[in-house]
Structure 1
Amino acid sequence: FDGGALMHLVTRLGSEIIAAAAIPFLVLMAAAVAGNMIQHRFLWSTEPLRPALSKISPASGLKRLFSRQALVNFAKGLAKLALVGGIMAALLWPERGRLDALVDTDPAGTIGLTRALSLSTLGVVVAVLTVIAALDYLWQYRQWYERQKMSLRELKEEFKQTEGDPTIKAKIRQLRQTRARKRMMAQVPKASVVITNPTHFAVALQYERGMNAPVCLAKGADAIALRIRAVAEEARVPIVENPPLARALHATVELDQEIPPEHYKAVAEVISYVMRLSGAVRW
């Protein structure tokens, strides 16, 4: 070949290879961008763009340069480079005879063979790098997930140290509620009347002459209401079924407190009824 023909051949060959490789290259770039966006959950942050002295500090730069993660990334880059080189050597070595014969081949044949070998090699390299990228993504995601789990455990440990163990606190709260319920049940036999719903709510009231108003000794709903009723029956405390009044008292009156004035009339009627039945023995 003369100089002009050789330059024309190289230019044509380069143009055809670039044109043929453009689509796979664009697909690879799109896949890389999409993978990065998926890995970071489509988060957009301006934090990396903010100026900071630590970004230009030589000490910080050396620390990042020789950090464990930087060394790992460097090793992975070398491994990928070696793998790509090995793949290209493995694919082109069997074709060395045909490559040697390019010296005596016409330009069209040279272009065709070079393009075919370039595209086949590029296709294999892209496929292998895609698999490596997928595996690397899975590995990075696993590391991120493990860091998140460790952060959650550290947060729980810190909470235990500052606020106390939630399990122990829940157990203590349960014990306190149990003791308070036992003390409340011990007051039921002292009640003058128990007003019920009949099974959903129960309020035990005590009234004696000289008191300003009846006092709530015990109250509860569902299972606790049934227990109050059972204790009242054992102690022979009068039980009156008045669903509206039982619901209202349960919602408004507190333990060891007098009933609100708005319930004076209704409770007075119940007390009068009980007094008539018992002959005022308890009053």
Structure 2
Amino acid sequence: MAEDSGAEKTEQPTPKKLQDAAKKGQIARSKDLGTAFVLIGSAAALLVFGKMLAMAMLNIGQRMMRLDQKDIFETNSMFTAWGDAGRELAAPLSGIFILILIAAFVGNTLLGGFNFSWEAAGPKASKMSPIQGFKRMFGLQALVELVKSILKVLVVVGIAYLLLKVFFMDIMALSLMSEPNNIESALYFLAWLFLGLCASISVIAVVDAPYQVWNHTKQLKMSLQEIKDEHKNSEGSPEIKARIRRTQMQMSMKRMMQQVPTADVIVTNPTHYAVALKYDQGKFRAPAVVAKGVDEVAMHIRKIASEHKIPIIESPALARSIYYTTKLDHPIPEQLFAAVAQVLAYVFQLNLYRKGKGSRPKALAKELPIPEDVRH
């Protein structure tokens, strides 16, 4: 069925629509949120490992500026110095790198979760189209990005001015301090200034993240016709499903009718209900229902039973009880054992009588022992 593209898209996207979009790489993402996490993670890393990094840099500076007679005549002294510098910087830089890596992963998966799509990574003709490029440059999304960029500049400049004003005297006092305190303090102030500037970016991210979720949902909204078409494609059209059900019922009915000639007795209502019972001691400990039905199906069961000379017993209460309490190819419940036993005993005696091997059995009782809890 053709998709109704002109219909108004007012419905929320279905789980299947969201799943298909994720496979194409279309998920809610906030670049500002990821950037804010990376920057704040970097500032936090400097606060945690800043002192260690400062001491490592101080040791490296002192080592590089110190020259003795041994270093002059040692050809490998330069490589040894670089090795020492690498060992000094390994621990603080590794810690900073790991914290930034964790922040980057969390920031980029916090909204939309982790998702990788080969389809999104592949080349697209629309991205190389000049017309599509102009639409992206002058569209609503471009306008939103422009507004966000202006807000970023204003917020960052404002926060930077406030931070410099607060820490101005402390920064100027660094020139009066001696090493290594001046290096540690400088990195300390740098980290806090950096953290303040990064926190200002988070203000934009807090606004941008809900907008990206709303915009993503808006782009994936569906019309009522699209939802109907999706349901048909996933579940199958009602016409085909109905045809399959009819075919299954016909096959099941055919198999059931093939079991009627094997039954020991047919219990009827006498016109509306009919159940076929068979007592197979090797399969069930009680008689089982091999066929059952109402109205036309019941009439067809009685017809087949008559053709194959299967005894037909009229017992309305028992027929209804068996029909409603016992599934096809299942044994009858214990509550009906006594009533069905009387029916089967009568049928077996009747068969012996017809073969001339016994006396005529007494008529079956009109009121069979059927408990109230299984009566229908």
Please tell me the TM-score bracket, short chain as reference: 0.3 to 0.5
Could you say which structure has the higher helix fraction? 1
In the superposition, the TM-score normalised over structure 1's length comes to 0.47
Highest RCO, 1 vs 2 (Cα 8 Å, sep ≥ 6): 2
TM-score, structure 2 as length reference? 0.38
